[in-house]
A and B are shown apart, each in its own frame.
Chain A
Amino acid sequence: MANIRELLIGFGKKKQADISTANVTSDIWRLNKLNVQLANPKFMAEDDAAELGKGHEFATQLFKSHVDSAAHQLEKYLSSEFAAWLWAFGLGKVVKTGAGPYTYTCTPLNPVTDGLELPYFSYIEQIRPGAARVLDRMLVGCAVKSWKINITKGVGRANAKATVEFTHSGAITDPSGITLPAATAENLLNAYSAAITILGVDYVSLKNFESLEMGWDNAFREGFFPGSGQQDGFQIQGRLEVGDRVPLFNFVARFVNGSTELQKMRDLTTGTAVVTLTKDANNSLSVTWQQVGFSVVEVGETDGIVTVSVTGKPQYNATNGVVSAVCVTPVDGIAQ
């Protein structure tokens, strides 16, 4: 018997050299997570039920097919370390500056010049690794399919959380051969430190912000192609390419006399949205949505207070693109 709380996870802090080259032990960091789901690779088989010549409609044998590309989830409280990892691996383009703390400036890939593949990482799950292991496997060639950051009112770490969905090429090393390091001590970015300015409105000064959801979906294209490779005879993906990417920026604020959201929607006003979380000079995240308009604005209520729910529409700015993030953290080498 094993308790799910024994589960250890580690994943590439550094990027893999390519989709099929696993991270080595020194590339891996260990972080805790919240969700209990395991990253189960789904080996798929097909049968011969539909084939003619058997005299009946039933299957008589199975054939190895492929490893399904279902996305796996990683849910965490937001920290400066994980924020830097999320933005670097989730958008794909990163510039690291500084000599400690390190500043990671992240933007989405430019498909014309950067290609369509995000940085890859390996993902390790272990329960009692070693001779009496219950589980010890490494998923090689993972990439961030989508992510969300939720900032809400309320207390504790749960007021700033991140959820990452990642897709796996299908290649597995079992046992992993990785000795996970001690868990990284993370510097949390709780919502109490938030600074939020959207289309010129400083919502923190007005004390009327309720919640924010921002995210990104890389909408991967399927990576099964002639020559993509196999794991134990099951086809795996040889590339994970971004498709038509979808940004997400929604928020809820109290609706009061002088609130401008409805008018801005009618005027199709656009502007920047800047969201910053700061622990200290060495730990922060500042996100700039470079050109946001409001596509839906609805007045309603939250806990008995009149609020306005805004569905934002992030747009592409010719100079600064869709979104950029500046992550400051003491950890070196993220996505390098």
Chain B
Amino acid sequence: MLEKQQRETTWMRPPDGGPPKEVPADPAQLVPLMVAGWSQCEPPQQPDREEEN
């Protein structure tokens, strides 16, 4: 399921350096973002959960 999810989405970062956004890996959605200056990026790091005592 996780693998399927990874295949179907990717992460894109806006040109203004704002937070990345997960978008469907669909050219119809990717192309307007790419034209607008968005670039592919790594998924953001998930913050580590503090262990409860």
Contacts and interface: CB of A to CB of B under 8 A. Distances in A.
B37 A110 contact: yes
Contact of A112 (B30, B34, B37): B37
Contacts of A324: 27, 31, 34
Given A98-B7, A105-B30, A110 B25 contact: no
Nearest to A103: B25
Interface residues of A, number: 20
A94 B30 CA distance: 10
A99 interface: yes
Contact of B34 (A96, A99, A107, A288): A107
B36 to A, nearest CB: 7
B47 to A, nearest CB: 26
A107 B31 contact: yes
A3 interface: no
Contact of B35 (A96, A98, A99, A110): A110
Given A110-B36, A114-B37, A99 B6 contact: yes
A99 B36 contact: no
A319 interface: yes
Contacts of B32: 319-320
Interface string B4-43: 0011001010010000000001010011101111011000
A77 B27 CA distance: 26
Interface residues of B, number: 17
B3 interface: yes
A197 to B, nearest CB: 16
A209 to B, nearest CB: 24
Contact of A114 (B6, B7, B25, B39): B39
Interface string A103-130: 1010100101110000000000000000
Interface centre among B7, B30, B31, B39 (most CB of A within 10 A): B31
A326 B27 CA distance: 7
Given A95-B10, A98-B25, A113-B15, A105 B35 contact: no
Contacts of A98: 7, 25
Interface centre among B27, B32, B39 (most CB of A within 10 A): B27
Interface centre among B7, B34, B36, B39 (most CB of A within 10 A): B34
A99 B31 contact: no
B11 to A, nearest CB: 10
A168 interface: no
B53 to A, nearest CB: 39
Interface of A: 93-99, 103, 105, 107, 110, 112-114, 288, 319-321, 324, 326
20 contacts: A93-B39, A95-B10, A95-B12, A95-B30, A95-B34, A97-B10, A103-B25, A105-B34, A107-B34, A107-B35, A112-B15, A113-B36, A113-B37, A113-B39, A114-B39, A319-B32, A320-B31, A320-B32, A321-B35, A324-B27
Interface of B: 3, 6-7, 10, 12, 15, 25, 27, 30-32, 34-37, 39-40
